[in-house]
């Protein structure tokens, strides 16, 4: 039931994503802009070389925050058009209605991340393959969580409130996680505030992995934060889909 | 087929539905009449498992609303007031998703079947945004009926349609009668109640104020069904 329903929702969502060439092109180019236009500046600003290994993980996380964080826009639309009620009347598993969408988001993020990595390598990134793959896994786990959370918020907030709230919330979340430069470079107060951001630990861990340091404290903390974040977010998302229904 | 016991729903201080006790038998086609805000949509949404009652309970097709919502969902179709298709997705894709979620295999064959039944065959590659109001309503019916539910809830299916399209929709409801489907239809149109329904429920202020065949309500009011309706519902 759950798998069949998730697959159906996933298939339906993927078809929409790849419907138009223009949409696919925008989805491919947009995430590369930060890397191409801001990356070279940041890479130089990192003291002591190894700039790209610091910058690329941050840009990956920035992409995740933007795409996954704003994933709930789709639900806002489905609420307004009555699609969501229609799906909720079917016997489909409530968790599947969420999971199918989140899996589509994951597919898109993997594709976009691959593009970012390819451009990163072209620009000068020199990271071990194992570190890059591990780093990707680190970014995808919280991404799925964030997408689920975004859906949960979109289901709870009045439809006209979600877009401004979410777009406003995402910017400080992104900046405080240290996506552009490591927060260890920040003044004390900013560094302290950023420690409240779960995704800060994820990007710190990714930077270690990209530098080829696997057995560090940051990696351990990053892993724990990613997994807990995903679990909490999925629970909240499923609850939101069940809300109110008998 | 539908039994409610004290079914109620409040939104904050607004008591939208107050203690509904209704029994609807298998194969009955029942019109659900009442002024705007009377509680029709709220009632139908509760029976379709979309809204949790604040009090009371109901069974639909033998399944308890609260204990077995999935059993209810398997047995019912619900056509929402105002439609339920994504205006940007091709009709075919919306129907295929619907077929898959009801476990119909293979989805394509079931989609072809409902497209045929609801006159959508030539329109399947269009998005609803490119359909007329009547065509969109037929799509809504196809989405709600693709799994041949035993119980169908229609919320104001004819509101805003021109007379010809409305008559075509009545024909679809008559066909459901032949198939033995139990149908609860909310509507504003009294002439529709006379033409189509075995029985009408009139709801006002969240409570049932009349229940019976159109003919019985008319003779009780000593006039038309419109007289009965106006006598029973409060001035808004
Ligand atoms: N989601 C909601 N939140 C608050 N009040 C609601 C909600 N849905 C319906 N109501 C109120 O409940 C009452 C009944 O509404 P409704 O069932 O939509 O009536 P009808 O379908 O007969 O026009 C109205 O007073 C309406 O304002
Ligand atoms: Mg209504």
DSSP state of A216: S
Report the range out of A26-30, A181-185, B220-224 with the highest average pLDDT: A181-185
Both tokens of residue B131? Answer: 């359909």
Phi, psi angles (nearest 5°) of residue B219: -70, -30
Q: Pick the residue whose CA is nearest to atom 24 on ligand 1.
A: B37
- Reply yes or no on whether the pLDDT at A246 is more than 60: no
From A17, which residue of chain B is nearest by alpha-carbon distance?
B89
Residue A51 CA to residue B63 CA, distance in Å, equals 63
Q: Pick the residue whose CA is nearest to atom 6 on ligand 1.
A: B11
- Reply yes or no on whether the pLDDT at A119 is more than 90: yes
Count of the separate structural domains present in chain B: 1
Q: Which residues of B touch A15 (CB under 8 A)?
A: 93
> What ipTM score was computed for the predicted complex, to two decimals?
0.92
Q: Pick the residue whose CA is nearest to atom 16 on ligand 1.
A: B39
Q: Which tens digits make up the pLDDT trace of B206-218?
A: 999 999 998 887 7
Left (φ > 0), alpha (ψ -120 to 50) or beta: where does A47 sit?
A: beta
Q: Prior bond to A89 cis, omega within 30?
A: no
Per the prediction, chain B carries an average pLDDT of 92
Per the prediction, chain A carries an average pLDDT of 90
User: What is residue A84's predicted lDDT score, i.e. its pLDDT?
Assistant: 94
Ligand 1 lined by B233 (C-beta under 6 Å): no
User: What is residue B214's predicted lDDT score, i.e. its pLDDT?
Assistant: 86
Three-state secondary structure readout of chain B: CEEEEEEEEEECCEEEEEEEEEEECCCCEEEEECCCCCCHHHHHHHHCCCCCCCEEEEEECCEECCCCHHHHHHHEEEECCCCCCCCCCCHHHHHHHHHHHCCCCCHHHHHHHHHHHCCCHHHCCCCHHHCCHHHHHHHHHHHHHCCCCCEEEEECCCCCCCHHHHHHHHHHHHHHHHHCCEEEEEECCHHHHHHHCCEEEEEECCEEEEEECHHHHHHHHCCCHHHHHHHHCCCC
In which band, very low, low, confident or very high, does the pLDDT at A244 lie, cut at 50, 70 and 90?
Answer: low
Residue B66 CA to residue B77 CA, distance in Å, equals 18
Nearest CB partner across the interface for A86, out of B52, B70, B80: B80
Phi, psi angles (nearest 5°) of residue B78: -135, 120
Question: Which ligand is in closest contact with the Cα of B40?
Answer: 1
Residues in Cβ contact with A74 at an 8 Å cutoff, skipping those fewer than 6 apart: A13, A101, A154
> Ligand 1 center to residue B43 CA distance, Å?
9
User: What is residue B170's predicted lDDT score, i.e. its pLDDT?
Assistant: 87
User: What is residue A245's predicted lDDT score, i.e. its pLDDT?
Assistant: 57
Q: Which tens digits make up the pLDDT trace of B81-128?
A: 989 999 999 999 999 999 999 999 999 999 999 999 999 999 999 999
CATH number at residue B72: 3.40.50.300
Angle at which helix B133-145 crosses helix B163-179, to 10 degrees, equals 20
- State the nearest Cα–Cα gap between B225 and chain A, in angstroms: 33
Q: Which of A91, A94, A155, A241 has the highest number of chain B CBs within 10 A, making it the mutation to test binding with B? A: A91
**How many CB atoms within 10 Å of residue A1?**
12
Nearest CB partner across the interface for B49, out of A78, A87, A246: A246
**pTM for the full predicted model:** 0.90
Q: Which residues of B touch A5 (CB under 8 A)?
A: 100-101
Q: Which tens digits make up the pLDDT trace of A179-191?
A: 988 898 899 999 9
From A6, which residue of chain B is nearest by alpha-carbon distance?
B101
User: What is residue B221's predicted lDDT score, i.e. its pLDDT?
Assistant: 67
Residue A7 CA to residue A116 CA, distance in Å, equals 27
- Reply yes or no on whether the pLDDT at B188 is more than 60: yes
Q: Which residues of B touch A86 (CB under 8 A)?
A: 78, 80, 84-85, 98, 143
Domain ranges within chain A, ordered by starting residue? 1-245
Residue B98 CA to residue B90 CA, distance in Å, equals 13
In which band, very low, low, confident or very high, does the pLDDT at B235 lie, cut at 50, 70 and 90?
Answer: low
User: What range defines the domain where residue B74 resides?
Assistant: 2-233
A155 vs B: CB within 8 A: no
């Amino acid at each position: 039931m759950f798998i069949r329903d998730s697959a159906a929702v996933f298939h339906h969502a993927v078809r929409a994503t790849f419907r138009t060439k223009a949409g696919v092109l925008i989805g491919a180019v947009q995430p590369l802009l930060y890397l191409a236009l801001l990356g070279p500046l940041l890479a130089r600003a990192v003291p002591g070389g190894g700039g790209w290994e610091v910058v690329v993980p941050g840009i990956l996380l920035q992409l995740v925050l933007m795409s996954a964080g704003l994933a709930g826009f789709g639900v806002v639309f489905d609420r307004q058009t009555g699609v969501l009620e229609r799906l909720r009347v079917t016997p489909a598993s409530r968790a599947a209605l969420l999971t199918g969408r989140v899996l589509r988001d994951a597919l898109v993020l993997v594709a976009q991340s691959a593009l970012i990595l390819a451009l990163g390598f072209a620009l000068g990134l020199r990271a071990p393959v194992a570190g890059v793959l591990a780093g990707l896994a680190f970014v995808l786990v919280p991404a799925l969580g964030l997408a689920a959370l975004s859906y949960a918020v979109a289901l709870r907030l009045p439809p006209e409130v979600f877009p401004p709230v979410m777009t406003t919330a995402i910017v400080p979340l992104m900046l405080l996680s240290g996506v552009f430069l490591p927060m260890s470079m920040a003044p004390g107060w900013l560094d302290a505030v950023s420690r409240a951001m779960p995704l800060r630990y994820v990007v710190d861990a990714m930077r270690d992995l990209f530098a080829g340091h696997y057995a560090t404290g940051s990696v351990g903390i990053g892993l724990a934060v990613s997994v807990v974040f995903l679990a909490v977010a999925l629970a909240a998302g499923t609850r939101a889909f069940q809300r109110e229904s008998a | 087929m539908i039994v409610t016991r004290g079914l109620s729903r409040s939104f904050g201080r607004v008591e939208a539905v107050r203690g509904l006790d209704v029994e609807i038998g298998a194969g009955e086609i029942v019109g659900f009449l009442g002024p705007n805000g009377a509680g029709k949509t709220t009632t139908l949404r509760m029976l379709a498992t979309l809204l949790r009652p604040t009090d009371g309970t109901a069974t639909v097709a033998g399944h308890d609303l609260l204990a077995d919502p999935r059993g209810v969902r398997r047995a019912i179709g619900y056509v929402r007031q105002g439609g339920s298709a994504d205006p940007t997705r091709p009709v075919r894709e919306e129907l295929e998703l619907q077929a898959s979620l009801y476990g119909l295999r293979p989805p394509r064959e079931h989609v072809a079947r409902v497209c045929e039944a609801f006159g959508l065959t030539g329109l399947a590659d269009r998005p609803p945004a490119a359909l007329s109001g009547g065509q969109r309503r037929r799509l809504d019916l196809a989405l709600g009926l693709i799994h041949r539910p035993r119980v169908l809830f229609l919320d104001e299916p004819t509101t805003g349609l021109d007379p010809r399209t409305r008559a075509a929709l009545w024909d679809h409801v008559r066909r459901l009668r032949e198939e033995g489907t139990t149908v609860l239809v909310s509507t504003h149109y009294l002439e529709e109640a006379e033409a189509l329904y075995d029985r009408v429920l009139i709801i006002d202020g969240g409570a049932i104020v009349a229940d019976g065949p159109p003919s019985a309500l008319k003779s009780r009011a000593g006039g038309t069904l419109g007289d009965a309706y106006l006598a029973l519902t409060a001035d808004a």
